[in-house]
Chain A
Amino acid sequence: GENVEQHPSTLSVQEGDSAVIKCTYSDSASNYFPWYKQELGKRPQLIIDIRSNVGEKKDQRIAVTLNKTAKHFSLHITETQPEDSAVYFCAASRSSTSYGKLTFGQGTILTVHP
């Protein structure tokens, strides 16, 4: 089955700096890669996703890149703000057959210091 590794486990940055979180996956058939943000004690919420036919996707201060050959994808947050502090999870699935059956990484605790 799929295995997703996520690094780093914790990340501390100053407000305004950039933050990068990286994930690798093992199943070459995976083609859907979402990122979820989970604030303390709350539900995870999708912030951005990318499919294997795209190498990069941006949404304001957030971007995701995908390298299918190397089987890794990354989340980039620019101009970080204190409200970006949360746990971020990457995930992977074979969207054509397994939408919703996500394999998650272990999560990254991001702390943005004012």
Chain B
Amino acid sequence: SQTIHQWPATLVQPVGSPLSLECTVEGTSNPNLYWYRQAAGRGLQLLFYSVGIGQISSEVPQNLSASRPQDRQFILSSKKLLLSDSGFYLCAWLDRGDTGELFFGEGSRLTVL
């Protein structure tokens, strides 16, 4: 069965520091992968999605970037964090079968101070 791993689970970073969140998927090949962000008390907002290695689409202008160096690896990065980057970041992969269900990772809670 497919599983999705995301780390780190929590991190506290100072403003201006870099960021790297990693997501890996097991049990599937060539998945569609997504990064969503959930600000406190709000819904989820799609940040990036990828349909294959090296293919990244950005949904909103922001201070973050994404990369997909391997088929089942998706990385979210920033060179210099802003206070507004705080939030709960969720990686997800898509079941391309009939369900179309989106499966989320456990999430990474980022606090920028």
Query: Which residues of A are at the interface with B, using a C-beta cutoff of 8 A?
Result: 4, 6, 32, 34, 42-46, 49, 89, 91, 95, 99-107
Structural contact, B94 and A100, CB atoms closer than 8 A: yes
| A4, B45: Cα distance in complex, Å | 11
CB distance from A66 to the nearest CB of B (A): 15
Structural contact, A102 and B96, CB atoms closer than 8 A: no
Interface size class of B (residues with CB under 8 A): 20 to 34
Q: Looking across the interface, which residue of chain B has its beta carbon closest to that of A44?
A: B104
Query: Which residues of B are at the interface with A, using a C-beta cutoff of 8 A?
Result: 32, 34, 41-46, 49, 59, 90, 92, 94, 96, 99-102, 104-107
CB distance from B63 to the nearest CB of A (A): 21
CB distance from A49 to the nearest CB of B (A): 7
Complex A-B, nearest 7 residue pairs according to Cβ-Cβ distance, in ascending order? A104-B43, A100-B94, A43-B104, A104-B44, A106-B43, A99-B100, A46-B101
- Please give, as numbers and ranges, the residues of chain B lying within 8 Å of A44 by CB-CB distance: 44, 90, 104
| A43, B101: Cα distance in complex, Å | 14
Q: Evaluate whether A32 and B104 lie within 8 angstroms (CB atoms) in the complex, with A44-B44, A44-B90, A102-B44 already known.
A: no
- Please give, as numbers and ranges, the residues of chain B lying within 8 Å of A95 by CB-CB distance: 100
Structural contact, B104 and A100, CB atoms closer than 8 A: no
CB distance from B57 to the nearest CB of A (A): 9
Structural contact, B100 and A89, CB atoms closer than 8 A: no
Structural contact, A100 and B32, CB atoms closer than 8 A: yes
- Please give, as numbers and ranges, the residues of chain B lying within 8 Å of A102 by CB-CB distance: 44, 46, 102
| A2, B107: Cα distance in complex, Å | 25
| A89, B41: Cα distance in complex, Å | 12
- In addition to A100-B34, A107-B42, 15 A-B residue pairs with Cβ atoms within 8 Å of each other are A32-B100, A34-B102, A43-B106, A44-B90, A46-B102, A49-B99, A49-B101, A100-B49, A100-B92, A101-B34, A101-B49, A101-B59, A102-B46, A104-B43, A106-B43
